Amino acid sequence: MRLFDLHCDTLYRAFTEKGSIISNDFEISLEKGNDFDRWIECMAVWIPDNVRGESAERLVENCYRLLLNELKICKKENRSVGKTETMSDIVSKANIMLTIEGGAALNGKIENIEKYRRMGVRAMTLTWNGRCAIGDGADVEKPRGITEFGRKAVREMERCGIVVDVSHACDKLFYDVAGLARRPFIATHSNSRSVCSHRRNLTDDQFAVIKNNGGIVGINFHKYFLADNDWCINDIIKHTEYFLSLGGEDTVAIGSDFDGGELPPDMRSIEDMHKIYNEFLRLNYSEELIDKLFFKNAYNFYQSFDNCPNIV
């Protein structure tokens, strides 16, 4: 089984809890993913709404340094990790892509976009739930949408090759970006508002805008975005099937939100991804389609965006 996961908060959690992405009791570690044939994990630096200015910029830099140090340790590690593989074997197929969750990370400086791209940042969520210099998130009352700085930021992200991510954006900001974007944009971890009416989820029209623009949408496992109550893995299937019914065969991907949300009770960690995979098989979905949902759609997107290193 191959997996390309568009969003998790494991790196942020490792930094703030003085932990490790290699081995931990989180929902993702490199050890936990050692059964995948191929695995690409987008690890986000989350910028909470109470972190702004220089503190936000330093948070990105600190998480980046932690990631580099952890990967250096991995590549030198020869001990076995399940089966017969060594940690260095795991790292060779567990490719990490760095992302940012929250435009406050820019600290109001357009030049930081190019700096972050040089650091390897592949995508940036424009806001978290509140307001930042780019625009308004999903929790802002009477949202104003994108700012003038935000317009400049979107243009510079597109120039530098950082993918614009509209998860957490208010509806006004979403449509401002749709009218402004010259390149495909994505929602890394957002579900269907028709299936679950949470404001963080996408309307049918928003999904169509992303799809028609060549973007992708990652299915989020956070229970409050899945259903109003009695959450379970089957709700992940429901959101996926609904987006597929809207013509999303080449658009739907995985955006788990591991280590950043609350999983349904029948799921513990990335080790349970096989449960979702097997449920699709039980429902008579072809392995070809399941691979598109789990891996290929996200990989193809980044390849076409000319923003993905030679990682497979």
* pLDDT on residue 91: 56
> How far is residue 165's CA from residue 99's CA, in Å, rounded to a whole number?
10
pLDDT of residue 309: 43
Domains in the chain: ranges and CATH: 2-304 (3.20.20.140)
Q: What integer pLDDT is reported at residue 305 of this predicted model?
A: 87
pLDDT of residue 89: 61
* Successive 10-residue mean pLDDT values, the chain, 312 residues: 97 98 95 89 97 98 95 69 54 80 98 96 97 97 96 97 97 98 97 97 98 98 95 97 98 98 96 97 98 97 70 30
pLDDT at 87: 54
pLDDT score recorded for residue 74: 78
Q: Which residues of 77-112 are buried (b: 16+ CB within 10 A; e: fewer)?
A: beeebeeeeebebbbebbbbbbbbbbbbbbbbeeeb
